[in-house]
Structure 1
Amino acid sequence: MEKHEIETFLALAEELHFGRTAERLHLSQARVSQTIKQLERRIGAPLFDRTSRRVAPTPLGRRLHEGLAPVYAQLQSVVAEVTAAARGVEGVLRLGFLGSATGKLTPRIMTAFGAAHPDVEIRMREVHPADPLGPLRDDEVDMLLTRLPVEEPDLKVGPIVLSERQVLAVPAGHRLARRPAVRLEELAEERTFGLAGSAPEYWWDAQTPRRTPGGREIRRGQSVGTFQEMMTLIAAGQGVSPVAASVCCFYARPDVAFVPLEDAPPTEVALVWRAAGETEKHRAFLRATCGVVRENGGPADS
């Protein structure tokens, strides 16, 4: 198999859409289709079922993807490591983080990266919910550990590093504070917070939903710009908010209680960086991060 065939096949197996695959690889749809047909002729059987409405791998396509993806990833990693050794990775890597970021994994990631690249100094900087992507776009940080989703055409999103359950932060004396768990539908009777700043609206909506699963509106009160500001307002009885479970450890305070949100989806953290100007330092840190995640058995689950 040729390199471009492997890359095209793997991209289509992940995107399951010829248009998105073409955009991702900076090719025309016709070129993607031609490459897949050429690969299928080489193998002697269809790898994808195609209709006007969907693209899905055949059983043979799934088998090829399962066997090929990890091998190709390992090959890329080896080539990248050799390239880094040849070029040298040095200087400063500015790492932004939102809140507790990767929590307990952070020291392990730093240790792994430092051991592999002792000539790189990591400088960490906290970013805030009001503008979580601004420092990255303004070239104040090189990479960012932040909550998903991030759906920006000028930014690249790496694999998920952390997947956490959500809890509801409420005032210590709140009616829900002693409950063993609550459901998202109950938030229709509460007030959450808006966001003061320039964060993408879809991003804040993912952190603090506007509606319950049943379609009832969740009222938003005062806008906040930092996480500590929000926690202070919760303690003062000004509202409640869904937060990651790690907040219970890293931001515990006696005037705020944390109640499990039993039907909330997990909140996820990933590395994000600017698509333009990606360097070997970016790739080296990403490899170190992915290595720690693999050692942990996959994205950490708190």
Structure 2
Amino acid sequence: MLERLELEAFLTLAEELHFGRTAKRLHVTTGRISQTIRKLERRVGGPLFERSSRKVTLTTLGEHLRDDLRPAYDQIAAGLALAITTTRGVRVKGVVRVGFSGPWCGNLVVKAADLFRVRYPDSVVEIQEIQLVDPLGRMRAGEVDLQLTEFPIDEPDVVQGPLMFAEPRGLLVPADHPFAGKESVSVEDLADTTLVTIVSELVPCYWMDYYFPRTTPSGRPITQGPATRFWPEVLVHVSMGVGVSTVALRAKDFHSRPGLAFVALRDAPPIDYGFLWPRTGLSPVASAWLDIVHEIATPIR
């Protein structure tokens, strides 16, 4: 039989593919996660993960074990939660509409939705992507109840909820760019580039300044290049050598392709992600859904 920490450490690491994030989610040290995984690998008789200084990946054995364990684990967790809600006399019914920006946000939303549908079979979850050029439009139009997106958002009609997770910031550059071969670059180095940005009168100015700065910390100007309206346009401009763009470094797991390279911005603040909802409040079904998200991805304090 697997110990609880072995099971949770393995399944969480199989999802995150990062020892630090796994340790943070399980409220233990990174060393404890490493020790637990090594112990589990000795029990199964083979490596479950390939580790390098840059990334962690599942081995074939690890993939098989994940696929075997995940459905049973989710079913047990859902059954326990259903028993608790039944005992408390809680019955949630209705529709919750959830938005997300970025595929890594979408992954968390979908995972929470899968568990929500099991726990509250009388309810429906509708999921939709939020475009960066109109980050608050669907919420203000009543088309989504809450959304997982990039902070900061400081608007009088919107609640900025707890920070759910943070991602290191990086720079998306052409594959033949001088920065492409570096381990990391500084925010000051942006003064030597042309920054591909987005354009929209619907994006708050403070948000644009945070993600697409016009000057470096020392005051050097950053050349503003093409202003795009959709993320695929950014990828095209950068791959063609027109300029560079700031990104969450995790984007390399989803958008790597010929002509592009990702490099860390070592002294840039991380990109924070959390939930937003209307100042008027959350419906009972939306509150129940948010509780599940907090359960599977403990917010950063």
TM-score w.r.t. the length of structure 2 is 0.67
Provide the rounded CA distance (Å) in 1 between the counterparts of 2:253 and 2:211. 19
1:210 is aligned with what amino acid?
R
Q: What are the superposed Cα offsets for residues 20-61 of structure 1, whole Å, 9 maximum, x if unpaired?
A: xxxxxxxxxxxxxxxxxxxxxxxxxxxxxxxxxxxxxxxxxx
Q: Does 1:122 align with 2:125?
A: yes
Matches within 5 A, 1:84-95: 88-95=91-98
Matches within 5 A, 1:201-280: 201-280=205-284
Aligned to 2:165: 162
CA separation of 1:209/1:299 partners in 2, compared to 1, >3 Å: closer, same or farther?
same
CA separation of 1:104/1:95 partners in 2, compared to 1, >3 Å: closer, same or farther?
closer
Q: Any gaps of 5 or more consecutive residues in structure 2?
A: 1-83
Is the CA contact (8 Å cut-off) linking 1:101 and 1:269 kept in structure 2?
no
When structure 1 is superposed on structure 2, of 111-120 and 198-207 the one drifting more is 111-120
Provide the rounded CA distance (Å) in 2 between the counterparts of 1:245 and 1:219. 22
SS of aligned partner of 2:191: helix
Provide the rounded CA distance (Å) in 2 between the counterparts of 1:165 and 1:142. 28
Q: Does 1:142 align with 2:145?
A: yes
Is the CA contact (8 Å cut-off) linking 1:112 and 1:292 kept in structure 2?
no
CA RMSD of aligned residues (A): 2.5
Q: Does 1:175 align with 2:178?
A: yes
2:116 paired residue among 105, 109, 113: 113
Provide the rounded CA distance (Å) in 2 between the counterparts of 1:140 and 1:270. 19
Is the CA contact (8 Å cut-off) linking 1:130 and 1:224 kept in structure 2?
no
Give the aligned length. 218
Q: Does 1:288 align with 2:292?
A: yes
Provide the rounded CA distance (Å) in 2 between the counterparts of 1:171 and 1:243. 13
Provide the rounded CA distance (Å) in 2 between the counterparts of 1:103 and 1:82. 26
1:99 is aligned with what amino acid?
G
Is the CA contact (8 Å cut-off) linking 1:169 and 1:241 kept in structure 2?
yes
SS of aligned partner of 1:204: helix
Is the CA contact (8 Å cut-off) linking 2:197 and 2:245 kept in structure 1?
no
Is the CA contact (8 Å cut-off) linking 1:102 and 1:161 kept in structure 2?
no
2:129 is aligned with what amino acid?
E
- How far the C-alpha of 1:108 sits from its partner, in A, is 3.0
2:270 is aligned with what amino acid?
P
SS of aligned partner of 2:241: coil
Is the CA contact (8 Å cut-off) linking 2:85 and 2:91 kept in structure 1?
no
CA separation of 1:262/1:162 partners in 2, compared to 1, >3 Å: closer, same or farther?
same
Q: What are the superposed Cα offsets for residues 58-87 of structure 1, whole Å, 9 maximum, x if unpaired?
A: xxxxxxxxxxxxxxxxxxxxxxx979x757
2:182 is aligned with what amino acid?
R
Provide the rounded CA distance (Å) in 2 between the counterparts of 1:257 and 1:154. 39
Aligned to 2:102: 99
Provide the rounded CA distance (Å) in 2 between the counterparts of 1:117 and 1:213. 49
Is the CA contact (8 Å cut-off) linking 1:89 and 1:119 kept in structure 2?
yes
Q: Larger Rg: 1 or 2?
A: 1
Matches within 5 A, 1:178-197: 178-197=181-200
Provide the rounded CA distance (Å) in 2 between the counterparts of 1:139 and 1:117. 23
Provide the rounded CA distance (Å) in 2 between the counterparts of 1:193 and 1:110. 34
1:256 is aligned with what amino acid?
L
Q: Any gaps of 5 or more consecutive residues in structure 1?
A: 1-80
2:198 is aligned with what amino acid?
L
Is the CA contact (8 Å cut-off) linking 2:168 and 2:269 kept in structure 1?
yes
Aligned to 1:77: none
- How far the C-alpha of 1:203 sits from its partner, in A, is 1.1
Provide the rounded CA distance (Å) in 1 between the counterparts of 2:118 and 2:282. 22
1:88 is aligned with what amino acid?
R
- How far the C-alpha of 1:111 sits from its partner, in A, is 3.0
CA separation of 1:190/1:222 partners in 2, compared to 1, >3 Å: closer, same or farther?
same
Is the CA contact (8 Å cut-off) linking 2:249 and 2:263 kept in structure 1?
no
